[in-house]
Copies of this chain bind each other. A is one copy, B any other.
Amino acid sequence: MKPLSATPRTSLGRYPERSTADRAALYEILDAGLICHLGIVVDGTPRVVPTCYGRLGDTLYVHGSTGASSMMTAPSQEICVTVTHLDGIVLARSLFHHSINYRSAMIYGVPSLVPDEGKSDALRVITEQLAPGQWDAARQPTRKELAGVAVLALPLDEASVKVRQGPPGDEDEDYALPVWAGVLPVRQAFGAPVPDPALRPGISVPPHLAAR
């Protein structure tokens, strides 16, 4: 696989050991996520919007509504999409070395609006990211419904991938302190599916949802 483009903004000045240009690492972070934070500039100021996304090959699809100004102005300018996994709280002996364990990907690029004929495929990618197996289980979108959805396609070319894992790193002299140090793991967990109160009787949770 082609490595990611190295640009000044994706090359870390601090903690360069936390950075990677490995495309496989980028894909792993993206594929494990459920939502992203989409950064756009509106009237000169930044806006950070949580939204759904999906990846197919070297394209990231980001979901929105044609009624959202953020989506409709995005194709004419550069955006930044960030996906973050918080993996742990790093508790050091000194407050200064407290940190978090995380995996994050910041992707930069000028997106294109997915044309009508490509929207269904792009939405399938986004739906399957959120709930694998769900695309074939639910009613397909109508042409009118598709018209109300905006999907951005962003090439996965320029990205900053950062990973911090493992125990704290303290100052040499602090290892003697009588302070507990280590990591408090954090993870995303799924609960048992909660049926819609309006669900028709006799419809059980499908295996692709029960398994998570």
Query: A residues bordering B, Cβ < 8 Å?
Result: 9, 13-14, 34-35, 37-42, 44-50, 52, 65, 67-69, 77-82, 84, 86, 88-89, 91-96, 98, 100, 102, 104, 106, 108, 123, 127, 130-131, 134-135, 137-142, 145, 149, 167-168, 174-200, 203-206, 209, 212
Contacts and interface: CB of A to CB of B under 8 A. Distances in A.
B185 A191 contact: yes
Nearest to A13: B67
B49 A46 contact: no
Contacts of A86: 34-35, 50, 188
Q: How many copies of this kind of chain does the complex include?
A: 2
Contacts of A67: 13-14
Given A48-B106, A95-B123, A123-B95, A185 B180 contact: no
Nearest to A162: B50
Contacts of A176: 200
Q: Would you call the interface of chain A mostly helix, strand, loop, or mixed?
A: mixed
Contact of A48 (B80, B123, B131): B80
A200 B141 CA distance: 60
Given A46-B40, A48-B39, A203 B185 contact: no
Given A50-B104, A78-B45, A80-B46, A175 B191 contact: no
Given A50-B102, A183-B194, 17 more contacts: A34-B89, A37-B48, A37-B82, A38-B48, A46-B79, A49-B106, A86-B188, A88-B191, A91-B131, A95-B127, A95-B140, A167-B194, A176-B200, A180-B204, A180-B209, A182-B205, A183-B193
Contacts of A95: 123, 127, 134-135, 138-141
